Amino acid sequence: MSPAVRLLALLAAAYAAPSLDAHIPPIDAKYREAATTPLVAPSAKYYLNFTTLAAGTTNGTPPALAVPFQAFAPKVGVRWDEKYLYVEAKGLPDHPLMAGIKSWQQQVPIPQTYAGDKAWRIPLHPVPAKEPMSAKTHFMRGAIALAANGIPIFNALNNRGDDAKKFGELDDFGGHCGKGDDYHYHDAPVFLEKTLGKGKAIAVALDGYAIYGYNEPDGSAPGKLDEFGGHETKVLGYHYHAQKVYPYINGGFHGEVTEIGGQVDPQPSASHVRKEGSAYSQSPLRGALIKDFTASPDGKTYELRYTLNGKALSVKYIANEDGTWTFTYSRPDGTPVVETYKPNDRGPGGGGQGGDRPKGEGKGGKGGKGGKRPPAEPEGAKGETGDLGEQSQPGTPEGDRPKGDRPKGGKGGKGGKGGPGDPPGLIKPSPADALKLNVYADNWFILFINGKLRVVDPIEYMPHNVVSVDIMPEYPMTIAVMAMDNADPKTGLEYGNHIGDAGLIIKFSDGTVTNAKWKAKSFFKGPLNRDVNNPKVQHDPIPANWYAVDFDDSSWAQASEFTEERVNPKESYTKAKESFAGAKFIWTADLDLDNTVVFRTKVEAPAGYKPHWTAKPEVDMAEVTKRLLNK
């Protein structure tokens, strides 16, 4: 019996109860409601109309993977064909949501229509990937799994590469809303076992393999898990497990998936309702703490209550009969402001019966045809930033995050239209089109992209700091960095008579990271022969155009990679460590004696990347950089 068949058989047996009630939230009694809807018999199939999920009959036995989702009928529905299970839902769970979020970018939960050709599509016959892909360097956008209650589960790392759970972005149930105002989890929804039963699958990854709780179905602790949080057993075959530490859920895909635009494809789209304006911004609201969220029984009226520096405020919104939404915001002084929006409902995400992969795209694998992840699109226009929206916060209220964190940007943002008097067809980039760049250097750095000065470390010595900025992508990108250790130019020593060490680590939100593929060359070495009693140094002239696109670095050696233990980075790095996932500390081969090092690399455009904006800067920053440096 194949692993997939064994998995289906176990799921069928595990859920073969005489009757199951609709979902009763695993929360305080005040939130509980009597269960009145029995689980429809296995031969049922569901479809979603505009207001509710209804049951209809069909011939044939449902696949075993459908059973976890059936436990949440009628709010979650299933249908299937020979290849795929299609899951339909509204995207709002029964449990309280949003409460406890400290790092909030003003998103609120809005019901979604994951149905019809926008249903979730899960392969019924998963195939192990020849080159499995890790969620540390892929899938920063969109969902990677679907919880049994129909709520999508996103990468544990948000679209900056940060651990969303650690930075206060999640509510008490491990979820939050993206900029598409779509609710999703970043943590394993183990609490669903209170409804499903211990040992039952709580979710299914989008490669078709089930996700279980912390233990095996028999209650035993799972054996050794692979880097994706999964393993194979005789009973279940391959499956994933929830974990109490990163990656919490599946940390990638054991099975075959297609990665397009940095997310699993196909997957459904969120309906984007709101637009930024005078009343609403997607900027972080520092000092905010979400208290609770309520919805009327008819699903028409909603309210999110929060405090801002202790002052009670709210966002109230109503679904109007004409399809528009009316929002009432509280200004910081408590006065209301009202805005009405017409939804910008995107096209299908590929959840229909056919759902074939777009031609020219391959099944995922390291370096596979899925290709390198392009910069993410603006949240809410297309997701986390994928087809679903994702929240991105610049900092925690505690101030322990690198300054300037904002959404990584790229291909998909709509940008801004030209203003009065602008040429017809002018499209300006939006802030969400930017890439997020994080840099940690021991001790100082200056960074150029395509010959243009982009970043200067504002602290040349102590304390060691993480620099986090937004960069507009301009592929291909020639990146040139000069990094300097704290060393006396005459002796090469620090603190009088000590030999220091160094290190550089960089990550762009498009997946570009420092590693041994970069070129590196030292221009200041000392003390020679490690002689601290009679120190001598060697200074080589730094080429005037070392940062230029056409500079020839072909004779330079490759950079050397070093472990975190060897570099021993300081607190600012350890607090932002998740922002550097996948990146390596680099230097020349001599981490101790090489004090000034220039690094270079070239980054090609990700597969399928095409900027949507047409606006060009009026100032040639490459020329400005030359003039500044010549002076």
For residues 166 and 198, membership in a common domain is answered with yes
Give residue 422's pLDDT band: very low, low, confident or very high (50, 70, 90): low
pLDDT tens profile 312-339: 999 999 999 998 999 999 988 889 999 9
Identify which of 48-62, 198-212, 609-623 has the greatest average pLDDT: 198-212
For residues 568 and 464, membership in a common domain is answered with yes
pLDDT tens profile 195-208: 999 999 999 999 99
Average pLDDT over residues 537-558: 94
Give residue 110's pLDDT band: very low, low, confident or very high (50, 70, 90): very high
Asked if residue 121 lies in contact with residue 350, where contact means CB atoms within 8 angstroms, the answer is yes
Q: Looking at the predicted structure, is the pLDDT value of residue 78 above 50?
A: yes
Q: Looking at the predicted structure, is the pLDDT value of residue 516 above 60?
A: yes
Residue 400 is encoded by which pair of tokens?
A: 């322990």
What stretches of 247-305 show up as alpha helix (H) in DSSP? none
Facing residues of 271 across strands?
345
Q: Tell me which residue range forms the domain holding 288.
A: 271-345
Residue 296 is encoded by which pair of tokens?
A: 């009327």
| Res 419: pLDDT | 56
Q: Looking at the predicted structure, is the pLDDT value of residue 372 above 50?
A: no
Residues in the chain: 631
Average pLDDT over residues 486-514: 91
Q: Please report, for residues 453, 479, 542, 553, the alpha-carbon distance to residue 522 in angstroms, rounded to integers and kept in the order given.
A: 20, 17, 9, 12
pLDDT tens profile 240-291: 999 999 999 999 999 999 998 788 999 998 877 888 776 787 777 888 999 9
For residues 587 and 505, membership in a common domain is answered with yes
Q: Tell the residue number behind the tokens 């183990």, with chain if given.
A: 190
For residues 518 and 572, membership in a common domain is answered with yes
For residues 88 and 109, membership in a common domain is answered with yes
Domain termination site, one of 245, 263, 281: 263
Residue 129 is encoded by which pair of tokens?
A: 């990937």
For residues 280 and 149, membership in a common domain is answered with no
In whole angstroms, give the CA distance from residue 293 to residue 241: 30
Q: Answer whether residue 392 is part of any domain.
A: no
For the four alpha carbons of 71, 387, 394 and 512, in that order, the dihedral sign comes to: positive
Give residue 79's pLDDT band: very low, low, confident or very high (50, 70, 90): very high
Residue 602 host element (H or E): strand 594-603
Q: Centre a 10 Å sphere on the Cβ of residue 406 and count the other Cβ atoms it contains.
A: 22
Q: What is the DSSP letter of 50?
A: S
Residue 527 is encoded by which pair of tokens?
A: 């003390």
* DSSP string for residues in 449-467: ETTEEEEE-S-SSSS--EE
Minimum mean pLDDT among 38-42, 285-289, 590-594: which range? 38-42
Domain termination site, one of 241, 263, 285: 263
Q: Looking at the predicted structure, is the pLDDT value of residue 102 above 80?
A: yes
Phi-psi label, residue 63: left if phi above 0, alpha if psi -120 to 50, beta otherwise? beta
Q: Looking at the predicted structure, is the pLDDT value of residue 452 above 60?
A: yes
Asked if residue 343 lies in contact with residue 113, where contact means CB atoms within 8 angstroms, the answer is no
CATH code where residue 452 lies = 2.60.120
Give residue 213's pLDDT band: very low, low, confident or very high (50, 70, 90): very high
Q: Looking at the predicted structure, is the pLDDT value of residue 86 above 90?
A: yes
Residue 328 is encoded by which pair of tokens?
A: 């009432």
Q: Looking at the predicted structure, is the pLDDT value of residue 228 above 80?
A: yes
Q: Looking at the predicted structure, is the pLDDT value of residue 214 above 90?
A: yes
For residues 302 and 205, membership in a common domain is answered with no
Average pLDDT over residues 412-425: 55
Total domain count for the chain?
Answer: 3
Q: Answer whether residue 369 is part of any domain.
A: no
Minimum mean pLDDT among 56-60, 131-135, 276-280, 354-358: which range? 354-358
Give residue 421's pLDDT band: very low, low, confident or very high (50, 70, 90): low
Residue 454 is encoded by which pair of tokens?
A: 């982009």
CB-based burial of residue 21 (10 Å sphere; 0-12 exposed, 13-18 middle, 19+ buried)? middle
Give residue 466's pLDDT band: very low, low, confident or very high (50, 70, 90): very high
Q: How far apart are the first and last CA of the chain?
A: 74
Q: What is the CA radius of gyration of the chain?
A: 26
Task: Identify the residue with better confidence: 430 or 254.
Answer: 254
Task: Identify the residue with better confidence: 595 or 430.
Answer: 595
Q: Answer whether residue 313 is part of any domain.
A: yes
Q: Looking at the predicted structure, is the pLDDT value of residue 347 above 50?
A: no
Q: Answer whether residue 562 is part of any domain.
A: yes
For residues 167 and 302, membership in a common domain is answered with no
Helix (H), strand (E) counts: the chain: 6, 38
What stretches of 283-381 show up as alpha helix (H) in DSSP? none
For residues 204 and 299, membership in a common domain is answered with no
